[in-house]
Structure 1
Amino acid sequence: MDDSRATDDRAASRAGAEDHLAPDDRFTLDDRLPADYFTATLHADVRRGLGGTPRTLPPKWFYDERGSDLFEEITRLPEYYPTRAEQEILDRRAVEIATLTRAATLIELGSGSSRKTRLLLDALTAGGTLRRYAPLDVSATALEEAGRAICRDYPGLRVAATVADFEGGLALSDEPGPRLLAFLGSTIGNFDEEQRAAFYRTLALSLTSDDVLLLGADLVKEPEVLVRAYDDAAGVTAEFDKNVLHVLNRELGADFDPAGFDHVAVWDAEHERIEMRLRSRRAQVAKIPGLDLSVDFAEGEDLRTELSCKFRRETLTAELKEGGFTVRQWWTDAAGRFALLLAVPN
């Protein structure tokens, strides 16, 4: 503990010299993705996913500008509880998180607009420990827009943004510690068990004994509640799901007919996860000239577009332990729908 206080004192001295800096001087953007990242990754994902059985695509290809707008709309739907539930926990626990972690740097994976993160930023800056916010995302545009806004709204705070794909490894710089690494929104649920195990090991190797992981996780609940959250009455999630076909058509010159597929959300009780799928309404062939590829769909055949795994406290705690973390705090919203936890490297 004494070492943390010394670190905080040194950081406070540096911050005094930084308070006068203009927002632009406190913002940096480090692009670590190769120039052909999106093209090469999309090509590889489509070849692998559409060439396999069952046919799959990673959910990251939902999120062009239209897809991001649709997802923002989803978070406001009455059926979609996870965003509100996590926000409720942060509203109640952000000050406690700041007190427990005394973080000098807040790192956020897949930060996007960084909207929810402001609750943590408020608590950590009020606590007097935070010196740097380090968001990491694949979208340089989202990072720049959110990062510059945060610099304007939090005088004295440095924002060191990194354009990177954390699924391919964790690109952490020399941020001042202790560090709080936030992975919110239950994005961890998009990984299957094997992917989660590899991800935890990567995190554990990247963090020190002074660092803390803040993880958001959606919990197992009644199947009908879960299905409604991923198949809303207004059809917004259906449009979001089909947006991946629009992305393939635009980026690869494909000729998918979005109207030829139905959106379905299926609860897989064995693996305790929701699967979002596009189900072919008829036998059809989709041509993808950009890859010199044709894909035959039988009537009723599914293209899986997202896994959304749900968790129980005992199993999530156990898999984190196996991956190199010990859970120290576990909080839920009042209805017990969603969990936010603090874990430290073993």
Structure 2
Amino acid sequence: MGVVRNLRQVSADDAGVDVAFRADVHAGLSQRPKAIPARWFYDTTGSALFEDITALPEYYPTRSETELLRRHAVELAEAIGAGRAVVELGSGSSTKTPLLFEAIAPSAYVPVDISGDFLRDSAAGLASRFPGLPVYAVEADFTQRVELPREICPLPKLGFFPGSTIGNMVARTAVDLLRNWRATLGDGALMLIGVDRIKDVALLERAYDDPAGVTAAFNLNLLERINRELGGDIPVENFSHRAVWNDVHARIEMHLVADCDVEFGVDGRRYAMAKDETIHSENSHKYGPRDASLLLRAGGWTPLASWDDVDPAFALILAEATEFRSAP
């Protein structure tokens, strides 16, 4: 088995609850309109539900991206080269990662994910599959500053950001994240990123509101997690899942909708919601080719190559770290 080291970079309180989770929940429930960041979907239950989503016939992104990695393995190997340390943002189950490894023969692997138990299980599985590969599993919120293991600091690096996860962020936040990782990965780094394209609205809405109700369970699990970890009494049965296309912002929005007037407590604080009021739980922005290129350049990355799937439209983009220049 490959060498596995587990590193934790999250702050927990005396009850073992992530401090940032507690703060984001209270801030989100106190504002109007209510909203909680999508990264808090991914406790152990939420991570498992998301893996179920990726296998649904309606959810095309995982199949499209996997096929792109498989079909363009030789081109990816030529463009990336061998021997880079792969740093994967939001690694989850790392199901696509072996395809990348087989193409580029990495020198080390650093999966970064906020769901600790899920992360460690996935890292152990990959280490078994690639014996001799050093694996450093970092439990952390990749939207914040992450300290890389010292062992990989001198190595050339490839950031791997699959799954169109960049779409979960509004443009301002996405640019900040890309700039942050530009600084973390350093000069000479590359980034391979999955980007979902704008497409037929009906196809998009089916992908985020499947008839089997798996995505609904994933969304509603956020409320269950609040009840479990923050001593909440949210009546989850009085909420419904909603996924809608917002054409102005070119994104699918997921909401938790109150089916009736509700009152509930979280962590000793009381909240109320009127019928049809929502908690905005996720965005999934879709990008045209020029939009994606502009986003990457604003974040400190220069696009080098793009591999696109046509039906449905999805892209893998390889970019290199832009040289930092002092202001004139």
TM-score (norm 1): 0.87
Matched, 1:82 2:61: yes
The answer (yes or no) to whether the contact 1:177–1:210 under 8 Å persists in 2 is no
Deviations, residues 25-47 of structure 1 (Å, cap 9, x unaligned): x2212222234384311210111
Residues 137 and 165 in structure 1, CA contact (< 8 A), matched pair in contact too: yes
Query: What is the CA deviation profile of residues 275-302 of structure 1, one whole-angstrom value per residue up to 9, with x for unaligned ones?
Result: 10011111111222x1x22111111111
- Any conservation in 1 of the 2:44–2:117 contact (CA below 8 Å)? no
* Greater helix content: 1
Aligned partner letter, 1:33? V
Instruction: Say which of 201, 205, 225 aligns to 1:223.
Output: 201
Matched, 1:111 2:91: yes
Whether the 8 Å CA contact 1:131–1:156 is kept in 2: the answer is no
**Mapped contact 2:4–2:137 kept (Cα < 8 A):** yes
1:311 corresponds to: 287
Query: In 2 relative to 1, CA 104–208 (structure 1 residues): closer, same or farther, beyond 3 Å?
Result: same
Deviation of 1:89 (Å): 0.6
The one-character-per-residue Cα deviations of 1:7-57 (angstroms, maximum 9, x if unpaired) are: xxxxxxxxxxxxxxxx36x22122222343843112101111010011011
Residue 100 of structure 2: aligned partner? 120
Q: Report SS of the residue matched to 1:168.
A: coil
1:296 alignment partner in structure 2? 272
Q: How far off is 1:227 after superposition?
A: 0.8
1:325 aligns with 2:304: no
Q: What is the distance in 1 between the residues matched to 2:47 and 2:136?
A: 23
Letter of the 1:170 partner, please give it.
V
Q: Which amino acid aligns with 1:32?
A: Q
Q: Which runs of 5+ in 1 are unaligned?
A: 1-22
Deviates more, 1:189-198 or 1:66-75: 66-75
Q: Is the 8 A contact 2:255 2:282 kept in 1?
A: yes
Mapping for residues 164-313 of structure 1, pairs under 5 Å: 164-174=140-150, 175=152, 176-288=154-266, 290=267, 292-313=268-289
Residues 8, 139 of structure 2: 8 Å contact kept = yes
| 1:77-120 Cα deviation digits (max 9, x unpaired) | 11111111111111112332122111421111111221110101
CA-CA distance at 1:336 after TM superposition: 4.8
Distance 1:143 1:188 in 2: 19
Q: Match for residue 8 of structure 1? A: none
**Counterpart residue number, 2:47:** 68
Cα distance change, pair 74–143 in 1 and its aligned pair in 2 (3 A): closer
Q: TM-score, normalised by structure 2?
A: 0.92
Q: 2:179 touches 2:299 (CA, 8 Å); kept in 1? A: yes
Contact 1:89/1:332 (8 A) holds in 2: yes
Task: Please report how far the alpha carbon of residue 206 of structure 1 lies from its aligned counterpart in structure 2 after TM superposition.
Answer: 2.1
CA 1:35 to 1:44, structure 2 compared with 1: closer, same or farther past 3 Å?
closer
- Secondary structure of residue in 2 paired with 1:271: coil
Q: More displaced, 162-171 or 85-94?
A: 162-171
Paired residue for 2:28?
49
Query: C-alpha separation between the residues in 2 aligned to 1:144 and 1:153?
Result: 14
The CA distance in 2 between the partners of 1:61 and 1:322, in whole Å, is 26
| Aligned partners of 1:215 and 1:340 also within 8 Å | yes
Q: State the partner residue of 1:10.
A: none
Checking the alignment, whether the CA contact within 8 Å between 1:189 and 1:307 is kept in structure 2 is yes
For 1:100, the aligned partner's letter is A
Partner of 2:78: 99
> What is the CA–CA distance in structure 2 between the aligned matches of 1:248 and 1:225, rounded to whole Å?
31
Q: Is the 8 A contact 1:231 1:264 kept in 2?
A: yes
Quote the sequence identity (%). 39
Return the letter of the residue paired with 2:98. Answer: R
Residues 164 and 171, structure 1, Cα contact 8 Å, conserved in 2: no
Instruction: Name the CA distance, whole Å, in 2 between partners of 1:234 and 1:228.
Output: 11
Cα distance change on mapping 1:77 and 1:142 into 2, 3 Å = same
